[in-house]
Amino acid sequence: MSKSTEENTPELRPHVYDGIQEYDQKLPNWWLFTFYIAIAFFVIYWLAYYQFQLIPTDEERMHAAMAQIDAARLKQLESLDDAKLWAMAKDVKAIESGKATYAASCMACHGPTLAGGPGLPGLSLADKVWKHGGQPSEILKVIRKGSPDVSKGMPAWEPQLGLPRVLEVLAYVLSHHQEGETFTVDPNDKPTWMAAAPATGAQ
């Protein structure tokens, strides 16, 4: 070993464990810097987050984001009236994609022709009898939020599909109707196939 190495030999600490001793060496500076940066970060974060509440908490951020989404949705909904919805029902592209969503999500209950079908639980969407109102905005509400009667099984679709796809489905349904047609509202509306034979012992 050359002379300079000996001069630089670090101090040997006095303690011995299992015959193992250690030198008192400096940490690499870059390592120390990461440590100092962590300390600085802690102080800044502690002050900003816990003491002065400068940084919003995750909960606040989430609520803010939700409020933003709600506001956007509300704005979107507010701009929708029956006339606009009818106008949308003439948009071929919206009807096309609405049809695809209908096939995947709605057909299992309301049938391939929208008229329900033997053994299908869904009400007919093609006839002129509506259970919860036949204005586009009323139909939209049922698709968005589900049937007001939760025992019937029509779920809220907006959380699953999102408003744009719900609107497309509505456009598809409305494309089977005429603007201004007369309809009746019957709170006891039943699937068409059952209308002939009165329900036996149903709840």
Partner 1 sequence: MSRSLPNLISVTTIAPDGSRRTVQPADVRGRYTFWRRVTAVLLLAVYILLPWIPINGSPAVFLDVAHRRFHILGFVLAAEDLWLGFFLVTGVAFSLFYVSAVMGRVWCGWTCPYTVFLEHVYRRVERWIDGDGPARRRLEEAPLTVGKVLRRVFKHGIYLLLSAFIAHVFLSYFVSLRQLYAMMQGPPSQHWLAFGVVAFLTASLYFAFSWFREQFCIILCPYGRLQSALTDDHTVNVGYDKTRGEPRGKVNTPGAGDCINCQRCVQVCPTGIDIRNGLQLECIGCAACVDACDDIMAKVGRKPGLIRHDSLAAFKGGRTKWVRPRTVLYGLLLVCGMIVCSLSLLAVKPVGVSLNRLTGAPYFVNNGEIRNQFQLRLVNKRPQPAVYRVALAPDAPEGLRLTDAADAVQVPALGEVVKTVVLTLPKDQFRGPIKTQLSISTEPDGRTQVARELEFLGPDPRLQNDEYLNPQNYLR
Q: Which of 178, 162, 173, 184 is nearest to 111 (CA)?
A: 173
The token pair that represents 180 in the structure block: 């201004």
119 binds partner 1 (CB under 8 A): yes
121 binds partner 1 (CB under 8 A): yes
* Phi, psi of 192, deg, nearest 5: -55, -40
What are the residue ranges of helices labelled H in 79-135?
A: 82-88, 92-101, 107-110
- Per CB under 8 A, the list member of 17, 31, 50, 52 interacting with partner 1 is 31
Distance from C-alpha of 32 to C-alpha of 38, rounded to nearest angstrom: 10
Q: Scanning the structure block, which residue is given the tokens 């695809």?
A: 100
188 binds partner 1 (CB under 8 A): no
- Cα 12 vs. chain centroid, distance in angstroms? 63
69 binds partner 1 (CB under 8 A): no
56 binds partner 1 (CB under 8 A): no
- Per CB under 8 A, the list member of 17, 18, 30, 75 interacting with partner 1 is 30
133 binds partner 1 (CB under 8 A): no
- Per CB under 8 A, the list member of 16, 27, 69, 87 interacting with partner 1 is 27
114 binds partner 1 (CB under 8 A): no
- Per CB under 8 A, the list member of 77, 91, 97, 107 interacting with partner 1 is 107
Q: What Å distances lie between residue 67 and 34, 58, 75, 80, 156, CA to CA?
A: 39, 14, 12, 20, 20
105 binds partner 1 (CB under 8 A): yes
Number of Cβ within 10 Å of residue 126's Cβ equals 15
The token pair that represents 6 in the structure block: 């000996």
182 binds partner 1 (CB under 8 A): no
5 binds partner 1 (CB under 8 A): yes
- Per CB under 8 A, the list member of 56, 133, 148, 159 interacting with partner 1 is 159
- Per CB under 8 A, the list member of 130, 143, 166, 191 interacting with partner 1 is 191
